[in-house]
A and B are shown apart, each in its own frame.
Chain A
Amino acid sequence: GEDVEQSLFLSVREGDSSVINCTYTDSSSTYLYWYKQEPGAGLQLLTYIFSNMDMKQDQRLTVLLNKKDKHLSLRIADTQTGDSAIYFCADLGGGADGLTFGKGTHLIIQP
């Protein structure tokens, strides 16, 4: 089946940029997503990118997509303590049969 892979942890200093990486296997993905999950909360859609785009910027968030390598990244500029959460990469396959999620990356902010 389709698969989405992420590293489990990322630790950054407050004020630095965070870059969270993701790889996926579905070559027919139409949309790719980044969701944020804080403790005890549901999933919050942060941003998404259509598969024919290379980059999308939204305030402090920059999404880069390398479709050839099936690699997606999320850059958070000027990381703050409020950014501490689990970040999930997900893709919507060509069959549009729900999202396939990675296991999530725990973003840890050091003071």
Chain B
Amino acid sequence: EAGVAQSPRYKIIEKRQSVAFWCNPISGHATLYWYQQILGQGPKLLIQFQNNGVVDDSQLPKDRFSAERLKGVDSTLKIQPAKLEDSAVYLCASSPTRDSSEAFFGQGTRLTVV
């Protein structure tokens, strides 16, 4: 079974530029999550989708971050404009259902903002 795929693996941008990350969850998984992991900390949930609808985006900085999952499969997370403090690893995870016991993580995209 293929795992959660994310791209790119690494991205370096200057502050005030825009960046987008892509995630392809495990086939058939209805729930998709984006997490932000700042160096030295645990992952923090940014947004959760159930199919193509947003379940929870309470911790998403909506003035600069946006995410979509238009067809209920792939998802993109965008930052516009980026700030230095956005430097982190962005992890995508998926699970079969919202209350499933297991969430599977991709390898993440490491973003460096200079």
Contacts and interface: CB of A to CB of B under 8 A. Distances in A.
B101 A48 contact: yes
B43 interface: yes
B44 interface: yes
Interface stretch (A12-20, A74-82, A101-109): A101-109
Contacts of B14: none
Contacts, number: 53
Contact of B45 (A35, A48, A97, A104): A97
B56 A97 contact: yes
B88 interface: no
A106 to B, nearest CB: 10
B26 to A, nearest CB: 12
B76 interface: no
B91 interface: yes
Interface residues of B, number: 24
Interface in A72-111: 88, 90, 92, 96-104
Contacts of A100: 45
16 contacts: A31-B101, A42-B91, A42-B106, A45-B105, A48-B101, A48-B102, A90-B42, A97-B45, A97-B55, A98-B33, A98-B35, A98-B48, A98-B56, A99-B43, A101-B43, A103-B40
